[in-house]
Structure 1
């Protein structure tokens, strides 16, 4: 059993460490996995025939609960908000007292006809309020940590957005049975997320038949396909809740262990972060196709880490947070300039008592990532699940910010290449405002698309390009070629 620490560390002078956000947790998991003698067992069975083994999930009475979850206003939100917001808990296991927190934003226009989209952040064990408040949600937080400004490129402009903190022990989500935190992993996370959706749709029955999509980033490269697989499997069973899932989109996502590490070190070398000698040593001594490591490989990869210095690997060209002390002023931020100290700002805002009261949560010491969960199972590759989804007519988009050094575009390309899918749309640029927004290549059942100038959290760094990509995904059409 491996304890995966997924929280911010408190440092003497600067508080939160840059080494503790979701992509670092992902890398720590991979490195730990390679260092243990016995592999963590895979728990997913990829067979249509296994669907008959599923039993009905926990379902509770939800009548009238939605109105109680409605948010009158978030503290510090700007004037002119013209959309509904809801948040609260959905119980997924009554016996254990396990409940997951959600934040839901309806689209300001035509919410009754627009699709429902679930967003999941990764880690494993990091909060989806990262996405809600610093990426694609309707607001961003000003540097004072107390007030908000509008995100003109919020994904809720084109969809009804549901953010879920998962599993229990992450963010505001909790269990009254603390031993639950020792049994976190891919399998239980997908099961609880499915139970959450079944109950949430009872709470908001107007969304039961709506087109439904799942999106996310980083370790959500596991969460999203696994939840989609669970939904597709359950949909085949008589008398189960039918969730009208249409597809998934995953960004800078871990989908295959071998290609993830290989692609990361290749990216570092090709972007002048590592020396030729170090990269040659990694190629010589490391075999990423097995689940073990060696002393010479570890020495080479440790050298690679030493060489990149004080750099934000989530965006290799972005400034780092040099002054975590926030401005007391309420100067409105810019959606086109991402604050490198976002972590501190987010923690300040979500730990405010008025904010927690507005979000309908218990008083909680909220953290960007969890320090209580133990990750017990994960898949070495998600590629078989992706193939299953493709074979069941699900739309699958894999998108990648091209200046992320943590789960870089090379990792995504290497992983997709192993599927050997026929190419239907040749590699080409896509455009926004007469500029190249990124590049794409269409395969049979899958699209690989990049976002130029975006880091690991794509909507944070390129909000307009991210919204264009997301809108195209929902419409099932490619972004403009000229």
Structure 2
């Protein structure tokens, strides 16, 4: 009798395994990640690899899918994009923000993120455009001629072709999320999807998008940034008034006089701070000096040069990513760098950033289109970021002139104020108290609540 029970159990396990494997296509299976080096054991499935978006040019985008921990077939698909432009969603979104793993200080292995977003959804991290992270093009001139338009079109092609590879996601609810310069990428991709759906036989079931500390509008972003610097005592009254009177914030390229003013502000008045979280300690460089000159920051209406986000409870996380993802065993496990890209994997591509060709002056017209299309739209802002600060976002969104449906109120997480929020007709805005530019890095629990409420389509929780 005991042997019979064991036999029946074995048959049941084999049938279950057969059922699970039948849910995956051959193409999916070729992208399956068995385990990453130094990875703790997990119960969810992972896949990564390349999707060619342009055969003629040989452009291929790299992705990493971490499926939901529980009931993945019933959970929506959340696409995450990082900005820069030129920065990697693997380095930032996956490895220090919303992904299931964190990289340890020696870059020898991984540990679990308690507030990973794959507890709520299937997470798809996309490195876009070609030239970012592991994504590549066989046409070298592509890296010198990329901009907003090509990024949006290639990202749409990626999603269409990726869903052919993963057919079980074809009818799934889809949400696009991201931060910073993805304030361009996310709404632009959402618009591409809406336009595609208007004429496509097989539609992408886009339900909405959410962006954080998002580059939105040239003039109001820049005005809001300078105002934030002054209101947080980062610059003097004199410098503030000079910036306001001298700079034409609507221009893509400022005058030499204006450039000199804000370089003076950063070099002489900011001091040694992390501009992506003004209250966090900066990462110390290996030579013992601090990180005051580790990046060149521009006003946020145009791309930032090599967007090094060394912020967070551990301000040196980017260094760990650059060590870990250059390891041959890690690349092999990820099915990455299969064409042997002739340059080192970096968190951000300076080449792309420096040669960015087109950037929308304002994303606000796209917001109006997508509000009219009925998408769920949330915008959130960590309130100690001085690069794309909360004042910039508030000035920009005010131009939409939306009617308020739920007035401004504090929202709570674990009986503490997580931030403040206001719900408008067609858009929800929320701040995250004490969070820097990468909100989920600094306030993971609050960011987790943001996603939960966003996916549920419910306002953020009030104090109970």
TM class, shorter-length: 0.7 to 0.9
Q: Within 5 Å, give how 1:165-244 maps onto structure 2.
A: 165-239=127-201, 241-244=202-205
Q: What CA distance in whole angstroms lies between the structure 2 residues aligned with 1:266 and 1:379?
A: 22
Q: Retained in 1: the 8 A contact 2:220–2:396?
A: yes
Q: Within 5 Å, give how 1:295-444 maps onto structure 2.
A: 295-306=256-267, 307-322=269-284, 324=286, 338-361=313-336, 362=338, 363-364=340-341, 365-373=344-352, 374-444=355-425
Q: What CA distance in whole angstroms lies between the structure 1 residues aligned with 2:200 and 2:109?
A: 48
Matched, 1:253 2:214: yes
CA distances 1:51-83 after superposition (whole Å, capped 9, x unpaired): xxxxxxxxxxx952110100000111123x111
- Give the TM-score, by structure 1 length: 0.83
Q: Which residue of 2 aligns with 1:289?
A: 250
Shift of 1:323: 5.2
Pick from 133, 137, 142: which aligns with 2:104?
A: 142
SS in 2 for 1:366: coil
Q: What CA distance in whole angstroms lies between the structure 2 residues aligned with 1:283 and 1:186?
A: 28
Q: Retained in 2: the 8 A contact 1:63–1:202?
A: no
SS in 2 for 1:161: strand
Matched, 1:95 2:70: no
SS in 2 for 1:112: helix
Flag the structure with more relative contact order, 1 or 2, with Cα contacts below 8 A and sequence separation at least 6.
1
Q: Which residue of 2 aligns with 1:78?
A: 40
Q: What CA distance in whole angstroms lies between the structure 2 residues aligned with 1:413 and 1:218?
A: 15
SS in 1 for 2:93: helix
Q: Retained in 1: the 8 A contact 2:280–2:313?
A: no
CA distances 1:301-355 after superposition (whole Å, capped 9, x unpaired): 2322221021101011111112559xxxxxxxxxx97311111111000001110
Q: What CA distance in whole angstroms lies between the structure 1 residues aligned with 2:171 and 2:326?
A: 36
Q: What CA distance in whole angstroms lies between the structure 1 residues aligned with 2:69 and 2:56?
A: 38
Q: What CA distance in whole angstroms lies between the structure 2 residues aligned with 1:150 and 1:282?
A: 45
User: How large is the RMSD of aligned CA atoms in angstroms?
Assistant: 1.7
- Give the TM-score, by structure 2 length: 0.86
Q: Within 5 Å, give how 1:106-185 maps onto structure 2.
A: 106-129=67-90, 130-185=92-147
| Consecutive unaligned residues in structure 1, runs of 5 or more | 1-61, 326-335
Q: What CA distance in whole angstroms lies between the structure 2 residues aligned with 1:75 and 1:324?
A: 26
Matched, 1:449 2:430: yes
- Greater CA drift, 437-446 or 370-379: 370-379
Shift of 1:221: 0.5
Number of matched residues?
410
SS in 1 for 2:315: coil
